[in-house]
Structure 1
Amino acid sequence: MRVVSLVPSLTEAVALTRPEVLVGATDWCTHPAGLDVARVGGSKYPDLARVLALRPDLVLLNEEENRRADADALLAAGVPVRVTFPRTVPEALTELADLAGALGATAEPDWLVAARRAWAALPEPGALRRAVVPVWRRPWVVLGSRTFAGDVLRRLGVANLYAEDAERYPRPDLAELRARRPELVVLPDEPYRFTADDGPESFPGVPCALVSGRHLTWYGPSLAEAPALLAAQLAQPG
C-alpha cells in the first residue's frame, strides 16, 4: 500500500502506525519530527501532479481542511480517497481506529489505546467556564457550532459561548466578543499564532489561556497527551 496524506493529523497517525506505507505529505505535516517523505504542497492547494506521481493507493483528506475539487480530481484519476470529519472526541477515536484497520494494522496502535484511556479517565466537568475561542484575528474568527475543538474544550470544563451559533466559524467584531462577557478567553497558537504579546491585550480584565493549537485541533496521536496538557494550560490563564 502507498498512502499520501493531505491532513497533518492523519500524517502523524499513519507515520506512527504503518510508517512504511506513507509516501507523501503536505508541507504543513510537521509531526513526527524528522518525517522523511515526499512533499506535495499545502492542504488547501496541493500539487496534484506530484500526488499522482507518487502512485498512491489511497489519499487521506479532511472535509474541512481540503477542497472538494481536489478530492473530485483524485477520484477522476482513479485514486481512492478517504475523507474524515470528526466533530467530537469519540468520533475522532472511531475514525482513527477505522483508519488503522484500513492501513492493515492487526491491532489498535499504542498511541490510540493511550488516547482512549486518557479521555476515558477525565471526570465529568462540573461548572463550565464560559469562554470565547478565537482562532484568527484581522478579522476575528472564533470557534462556533459543531467543532471538534469545541468538544475537546467542553470535556475539559470550558463552554464555548458561540457553540449554538449558526456558523462553525463566526466572525464577530471585538466589541461583540467583549459584550459576551466571557469568563475566559482561549488563545491557541495555531492556525493564528496568539502569544502573550498578541491577543490578551484585546481582552483587558479577562483571563486568557494560551494553549497548544495542535493539541486542541489535531485528531491523531496528539490526542493521547492532549487532556493533561490542555488542562494544565487552561488552569493557568494570564
Structure 2
Amino acid sequence: MRFFVDQLQRNIQLPEHPMRIVSLVPSQTELLADLGLEEEVIGITKFCVHPGEWFRSKTRIGGTKTVNIELVRTLRPDLIIANKEENVKEQINALEAIAPVWVSDVNNINDALQMIESIGRITHKNTEAERLTARLKDDLAAMAQPKEKIRTAYLIWKDPYMAAGGDTFISDVLRLAGFENVLQSEPRYPSVTPEILREKETALVMLSSEPYPFKQKHVDELQAQLPGAKIICVDGEIFSWYGSRMKYMKDYIAQLRLS
C-alpha cells in the first residue's frame, strides 16, 4: 500500500498499482485517458463525454451529483477519483466505504497543474503527467497579454443568471487570457442581473456552453438588455475543464481575441 495526500489535505491509502478506477469528474476522466489508463478506468459519469470511445464503452455510474453507489460497488474499484465542487460530500462519504477516494480541489491554474501531477503519481503515470504539465506551462507562458484588459462577465447559468466569481478556475483562466472579471470580488458563483452588469461597466459578456447550454437566442435576449456590451457564446470546456483539455486553451483564446 502507498500513502498520498489529496487536494483536501486528507491522507489517502492506495494500492501499489490501482487497477480498477472509477472517475466522477468529466475533465479528470479525459485526463486519465490522455495518461494512457484505458484498461484501468472501469467507470465514468454520464457527463464524461471525452474521449468519445470511453463514453460509448465504459460503465456509466450516474451523474456527477447523482452517483449510483450500488453500481459503483458492483464494479469493485480500488480507486475513486472525485472533486470537491463537482461531487456531493455525502456521496463521497458513502463511496469511501467501497474504495479509497482521492478528491481534487481546483480553484486556479496552479491547482490544476498540481492535480495533474498528483493523479500521475497515484496512477503510476508520472512521466506522462510531467510531460503534459510541461507542455501546458509552455503554452500558458506563451499566451501574450493584451495591453488593455476587457471588463468581462462569464455567465454559467440562466434564471437566475449566475456568473463566475473571483475564486474560481474560470476566473483564473479569464485573467490569464487577458480579460478582467468584473465579479472578481465575489466568491464562487454569484447571481447577477443585467442591471448589475451595467453598473459594473461590463464591456463583454461570455455565455458558457455549460453547465447551462446558452445559445444564440440567449445572446439576442441579453443583448437587448445590454446594448452597450458585446455578448458572445464560448466553449465552456475550455474555460472550466481543469485537465488535459487545457492543451486546447492557447489556440482557442487566440481565436477568441480575434473574433
Q: TM-score, normalised by structure 2?
A: 0.85
**Among 123, 134, 140, which residue is 1:103 paired with?**
123
Partner of 2:44: 25
Q: Which of 130, 147, 169 is the matching residue for 1:148?
A: 169
Q: Describe the superposition over 1:159-212 as per-residue Cα deviations: whole angstroms up to 9, x where unpaired.
A: 1111111x3111122222222221111111111112222134313231123211
* Cα distance per residue 1:35-69 (max 9 Å; x no partner): 12111000001101111111111111111110000
Distance in 2 separating the partners of 1:133 and 1:58: 34
Q: Quote the residue 1:8 is aligned against.
A: 26
Q: CA deviation at 1:126?
A: 3.0
C-alpha deviation, 1:125, in angstroms: 4.6
Rounded Cα–Cα distance in structure 2 between residues aligned with 1:227 and 1:91: 18
Taking only the aligned residue pairs, the percentage that are identical comes to 32
Query: What amino acid sits opposite 1:27 in the alignment?
Result: K
Residue of structure 2 aligned with 1:69, choices 90, 93, 117:
90
Match for residue 136 of structure 2? Answer: 115
1:79 match: 99
Structure 1: distance between partners of 2:87 and 2:127 = 29
Unaligned runs of 5+ in 2: 1-18
Secondary structure, aligned partner of 2:218:
coil
Would you say the 8 A contact 1:88–1:151 is kept in 2? yes
- Structure 2 residue 182 is the aligned partner of structure 1 residue 168: no
2:53 is the counterpart of 1:34: yes
Q: Secondary structure at the match of 2:99?
A: coil
Which range is displaced more, 35-44 or 187-196?
187-196
Q: Cα distance 1:88–1:47, how it changes in 2: closer, same or farther (>3 A)?
A: same
Report the equivalent of 1:226: 249
Aligned equivalents of 1:47, 1:218: Cα separation in 2: 23
CA shift for structure 1 position 96:
0.6
**Alignment match, 1:126:** 147
Conserved in 1, the CA contact under 8 Å of 2:203 and 2:228? no
- Partners of 1:63 and 1:56 in 2: CA distance: 20
Q: Secondary structure at the match of 2:250?
A: helix
The structure-2 alpha-carbon separation of the partners of 1:23 and 1:133, relative to structure 1 and needing over 3 Å to count, comes to: same
Q: Do the aligned partners of residues 100 and 106 (structure 1) sit closer, same or farther apart at CA in structure 2, a change above 3 Å counting?
A: closer
